[in-house]
Structure 1
Amino acid sequence: MSKTVAVIGAVSLALLVVVLVVQLVLVVPSLGALGPGAEQTGVMVMGEGKASAQPDVAMVNIGVETRSATAKGAADANKGQMADVMEALQGIGIAEEDIQTADYTIYPEMQSSEDEPPRVIGYVASNSLLVKIRQIDQVGDVLDAVTEAGANNIYGIQFTIDDPSSLREQARAEAMADAQSKAQALADLAGVGLGKPRLISESFVEVPIPYPAVERAPMGGGVEVPVSPGQLEVSVSVQVTFDVR
């Protein structure tokens, strides 16, 4: 009885192996048909395009930092000083919706020495605003006004374009023309005809003009703040796969 079972088991296993082999033979050709054959023919190229224009908006990060023996004292001093800065901004024509609180912190100021452990000697309140200036030629006047009003940190100035869509379209058209030209050259060298684009992917980069932090001291005494917006460049890259014929 056990021999019969063993024989039947061996036959079943052999049949199973045959079935699996047949299935593998049937599946592999179907996978090969989807592999790197006719489906993968074509020309893939990268195209690049750039467009630039003068920025029409400046983003300025303005800060007020105050110190006191207590956290409340630092906060109260900061509140009054920042109110003066806000008043100066609105007085020069900056709309309320173009002024946004960027950061507000209160932290202890520590002092340490070799003989003693660190100890708290006071508190610092720091408040910063992100201000959008819609008239580029007003940047220097704004910086002068806020520093006179009590702002003691300018964390950075960034020039940009409020609506860069038209620049992006110009760069995109140039990138596609570049891709078309490269693909045509490759097709000519290969002795094939160039067909229509089958697949297109795009990436773009907008490069603003950053400026380093500026402290209040160099801007005191009514000295005019020099600013130069320069140019803003938009770069578009496309990867295009063309059919060939």
Structure 2
Amino acid sequence: MKMNNGIKCVFLGTLLAICSLAVQAQAVNFPHINTTGYGEVLAEPDMAEFSVQVVMVQESAEQAKQKADQVVDDFLQQLQALGVPREDIKSGNIQLLPQMHYPKNAKPEQKGYRAVRKVKVTTDNLDMLPKLMDTALKSGVNRIDRVQLGVKDPSKYQAIARSEAIKDAQLKAKSVAEGFAKTLGDVWQVNYQAAQARPMLSRTMAMDSSERANSYQDTTIVIKDRVEVIYKLK
């Protein structure tokens, strides 16, 4: 059954009125205080991820693919020889693209093919990072992306940060209530959204092994949390 415009307008108006009444019914109509608590904890990284890229340009697509695959295979073998488990190594599919040349005042022309493969490595041995990246470069890898430092069990640190946020909200609410000669009552509402599941810290790769090794020392990750609470006032 079709509805004419008049009936649609009446229906929409009724729906908006019902929604408005529902919002008003949930409004806080008693003395209260709204506070936001913040908490954070410092964690030492115990794992890292880094990605590398192999880019090869050859006259034919087949040649470019073979060169890229050869570098990746060599890199994977060396990683496993260094004790990196195969499940901690993820190699992506190859991408084959025409290699274009754009001369000035002339039409673009194709100059062979470009093959690209990516490899992601995860390790829980931070002392091995410089050696792993040097191994990548010696294998023929063209690019090492940023290293991401993290923690294997972020939920443990997140729980501590959450607890600190709750304490912070309680202390703020109690202090403000006492400042106005009021007594803090029961919690009326809590608004909480979980933070990111896996905190990571990106670091740019240093130029040589000694600098890279030093750049991972005394590094900490700040894990934060927050909670919003509405307390009743007596």
1:207 offset after TM fit, Å? 5.2
1:107 offset after TM fit, Å? 0.9
CA distance in 2, matches of 1:182, 1:103: 53
RMSD: 2.5
1:116 offset after TM fit, Å? 2.0
Select the residue among 67, 71, 76 that pairs with 2:66: 76
SS of residue in 1 equivalent to 2:129: helix
1:115 offset after TM fit, Å? 3.6
- Asked if 1 retains the 8 angstrom alpha-carbon contact of 2:205 and 2:212, the reply is no
Q: Which residue of 2 aligns with 1:55?
A: 45
CA distance in 1, matches of 2:164, 2:43: 15
SS of residue in 1 equivalent to 2:38: strand
Gaps of 5+ in 2: 1-17
Q: Which residue of 1 aligns with 2:5?
A: none
Structure 2 CA distance for partners of 1:31 and 1:105, relative to 1, 3 Å: closer
1:202 offset after TM fit, Å? 2.5
Q: Which residue of 2 aligns with 1:211?
A: 203
Q: Which residue of 1 aligns with 2:111?
A: 121
- The number of residues matched between the two structures is 210
Q: Which residue of 1 aligns with 2:36?
A: 46
Percent identical: 22
- Asked if 2 retains the 8 angstrom alpha-carbon contact of 1:144 and 1:224, the reply is no
- Correspondence 1:143-162 to 2 at 5 A: 143-162=133-152
Q: Which residue of 1 aligns with 2:230?
A: 241
Structure 2 CA distance for partners of 1:160 and 1:31, relative to 1, 3 Å: closer
- Asked if 2 retains the 8 angstrom alpha-carbon contact of 1:208 and 1:233, the reply is no
SS of residue in 1 equivalent to 2:185: strand
1:35 offset after TM fit, Å? 7.1
How does the TM-score come out when normalised to structure 2?
A: 0.81
Instruction: Give the AA of the match of 1:170.
Output: I
Structure 2 CA distance for partners of 1:145 and 1:225, relative to 1, 3 Å: farther
1:142 offset after TM fit, Å? 0.6
SS of residue in 2 equivalent to 1:184: helix
Residue 91 (str. 1) matches residue 81 (str. 2): yes
- Asked if 1 retains the 8 angstrom alpha-carbon contact of 2:50 and 2:146, the reply is yes
CA distance in 2, matches of 1:119, 1:33: 67
- Asked if 2 retains the 8 angstrom alpha-carbon contact of 1:144 and 1:225, the reply is no
Q: Which residue of 2 aligns with 1:226?
A: 212
Residue 194 (str. 1) matches residue 181 (str. 2): no
How does the TM-score come out when normalised to structure 1?
A: 0.77
- Asked if 2 retains the 8 angstrom alpha-carbon contact of 1:57 and 1:162, the reply is yes
- Asked if 2 retains the 8 angstrom alpha-carbon contact of 1:103 and 1:129, the reply is no
- Asked if 1 retains the 8 angstrom alpha-carbon contact of 2:154 and 2:199, the reply is no
CA distance in 1, matches of 2:82, 2:159: 35
- Asked if 2 retains the 8 angstrom alpha-carbon contact of 1:143 and 1:225, the reply is no
SS of residue in 2 equivalent to 1:109: strand
- Asked if 1 retains the 8 angstrom alpha-carbon contact of 2:57 and 2:64, the reply is yes
1:102 offset after TM fit, Å? 4.5
- Asked if 1 retains the 8 angstrom alpha-carbon contact of 2:65 and 2:94, the reply is no
- Asked if 1 retains the 8 angstrom alpha-carbon contact of 2:147 and 2:204, the reply is yes
1:224 offset after TM fit, Å? 4.7
Q: Which residue of 2 aligns with 1:179?
A: 169
Q: Which has the larger radius of gyration?
A: 1
Cα offsets for 1:166-217 (capped at 9, x unmatched): 1111111111111001100121122221112222222435653212367xxx
